[in-house]
C-alpha cells in the first residue's frame, strides 16, 4: 500500500509538470509584480488546502517574497483588511467549489486584486473558483485518490508541488540569491550550511595559523608554524608571492617519520601536496560539506581571489557545526 501511495503521488506531480502552460508564466508574473510593488502574496485555502497554502506561503517568505496565509472564513470577518491593491491572492481548492474560497476570490476580483487559483481543473466547465480567477492553474484530476483514502493526499501533494514551482520560479525571476536566503535562515542546521566559510574558521592566517615559505625543511616548517593553543592538522606552504603552493598534513608527517626520522631535515616541498584542493573565501559551509563528502578531505585551505591563504578549515569545524558526523 505504501508503494501505491507513493507512486500515485509521484504520478500526480508528473501530470502537473506535463500540463504546465502559458498560464503558469502569467501566475509567476503576478507574484513578481506584487513583490516589486511592495505587496504581498496572500494565500487562502480551507481544510487540507489551507494547510498546504500555509506551507506555500512559508516557502515564499523563505525565498524573500512577502507572503501571509489568510483564512477564507476569517477574511469575511475583518481579515479582508490584509489585502491591498498591490497584493496578489493565491487561492486553493481542489474541487474549485469551496464556497468560502470562491466568495473571497470574487470579492478581491471586484476590488481589482488579481487572483491565482489552483484547482483540479476537471470537468467540462470551469469551476466557480476558476471563473472568478485572473489566472486559473490546474493539477488535473487525481484518479486514484479516493481508492487510497477518503482523506486528501495525492491532490494535496500535487498542489504543494505546483506551489513550490511557483515560488521557486518567482524567486529565480526576481534573482533571489544565496545571500538573500542565508540572511533569512541564520539558525539550525540549514543556517549552519548557509554560513560563509570564513565565519566557520578557527584557524585564521595571522592569528591562529602561520603559513611557511617553500624554502624550508620539514623541521623548520614545524617550528615556524607553531601556535599557542590548539594546533591545526596541517601546515600551509606559500610561494615567494604569498600564494598557496602546498599542504603538509599530520598524516604526511607521520608517514615521513615512520619511514625515516631523519626525513624531517628534508625540504618540505618534497613531501607536501602541491596545488591542493581549496575553497575560495566566498564559499559557504555547504560547499565545504560537499568537498568533505565527495573527496574525504580532513583539511581544506581557504584562499582569497589572489590565491593567498586566509585560513584552514578542519573537518572538526564542520562536526562542531553539526554539518557532518564523526
pTM of the model: 0.62
Report pLDDT digits (tens) over 102-115.
Answer: 999 999 988 899 99
Q: Which grid coordinates are listed for 20?
A: 504546465
**Continuous H helices in the chain:** 2-18, 22-36, 48-62, 72-75, 99-110, 128-131, 145-148, 154-173, 178-183, 188-194, 218-224, 250-259, 285-295, 315-320
Report pLDDT digits (tens) over 134-161.
Answer: 999 999 887 655 677 777 788 999 999 9
pLDDT band of 299, cuts 50, 70, 90: confident
Report pLDDT digits (tens) over 54-93.
Answer: 999 999 988 889 999 989 888 665 566 667 889 999 999 9
CA 161-166-169 angle, to 5 degrees, is 120
The matching CATH number, chosen from 3.30.499.10, 1.10.3720.10, 3.10.580.10, 3.50.50.60, for 194-320 is 3.10.580.10
Q: Which grid coordinates are listed for 135?
A: 489566472
- The arithmetic mean of pLDDT across residues 26-31, rounded, is 97
The CATH code belonging to domain 2-176 is: 3.40.50.10490
In the predicted structure, residue 186 carries a pLDDT above the cut 60? no
pLDDT confidence of residue 324? 43
Query: Which of the two residues, 97 and 143, has the higher pLDDT score?
Result: 97
Domain boundary assignment for the chain: 2-176, 194-320
Query: Which of the two residues, 2 and 180, has the higher pLDDT score?
Result: 2
pLDDT confidence of residue 294? 72
For 36, phi then psi, to 5°, come to -65, -30
In the predicted structure, residue 178 carries a pLDDT above the cut 80? no
- The arithmetic mean of pLDDT across residues 3-24, rounded, is 91
Quote the CA–CA distance of 136 and 117 in Å, as a whole number.
Answer: 5
In the predicted structure, residue 290 carries a pLDDT above the cut 50? yes
CA neighbor of 156 nearest in space, from 12, 49, 10: 49
Mean pLDDT of the chain: 85
Amino acid at each position: 500500500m505504501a508503494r501505491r501511495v507513493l507512486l500515485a503521488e509521484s504520478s500526480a506531480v508528473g501530470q502537473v509538470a506535463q500540463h504546465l502552460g502559458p498560464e503558469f508564466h502569467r501566475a509567476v508574473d503576478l507574484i513578481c509584480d506584487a513583490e516589486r510593488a511592495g505587496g504581498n502574496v496572500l494565500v487562502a485555502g480551507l481544510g487540507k488546502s489551507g494547510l498546504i497554502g500555509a506551507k506555500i506561503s512559508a516557502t515564499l517568505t523563505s525565498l524573500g517574497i512577502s507572503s501571509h496565509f489568510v483564512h477564507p472564513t476569517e477574511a469575511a470577518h475583518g481579515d479582508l483588511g490584509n489585502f491591498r491593491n498591490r497584493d496578489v491572492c493565491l487561492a486553493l481548492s481542489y474541487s474549485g467549489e469551496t464556497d468560502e474560497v470562491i466568495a473571497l476570490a470574487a470579492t478581491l476580483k471586484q476590488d481589482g486584486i488579481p487572483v491565482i487559483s489552483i484547482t483540479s481543473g476537471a470537468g467540462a466547465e470551469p469551476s466557480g473558483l476558476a471563473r472568478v480567477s485572473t489566472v486559473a492553474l490546474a493539477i488535473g484530476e487525481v484518479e486514484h485518490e479516493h481508492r487510497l483514502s477518503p482523506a486528501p493526499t495525492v491532490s494535496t501533494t500535487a498542489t504543494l508541488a505546483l506551489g513550490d514551482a511557483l515560488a521557486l520560479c518567482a524567486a529565480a525571476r526576481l534573482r533571489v540569491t544565496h545571500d538573500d536566503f542565508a540572511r533569512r535562515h541564520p539558525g539550525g542546521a540549514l543556517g549552519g550550511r548557509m554560513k560563509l566559510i570564513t565565519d566557520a574558521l578557527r584557524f585564521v592566517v595571522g592569528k591562529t595559523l602561520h603559513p611557511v615559505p617553500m624554502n624550508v625543511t620539514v623541521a623548520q616548517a614545524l617550528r615556524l608554524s607553531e601556535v599557542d593553543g590548539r594546533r591545526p592538522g596541517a601546515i600551509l606552504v606559500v610561494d615567494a608571492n604569498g600564494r598557496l603552493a602546498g599542504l603538509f598534513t599530520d598524516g604526511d608527517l607521520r608517514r615521513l617519520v615512520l619511514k625515516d626520522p631523519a626525513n624531517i631535515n628534508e625540504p618540505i616541498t618534497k613531501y607536501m601536496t602541491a596545488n591542493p584542493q581549496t575553497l575560495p573565501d566566498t564559499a559557504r559551509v555547504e560547499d565545504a560539506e560537499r568537498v568533505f563528502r565527495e573527496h574525504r578531505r580532513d583539511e581544506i585551505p581557504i584562499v582569497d581571489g589572489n590565491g593567498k591563504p586566509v585560513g584552514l578549515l578542519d573537518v572538526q569545524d564542520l562536526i562542531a557545526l553539526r554539518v557532518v558526523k564523526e
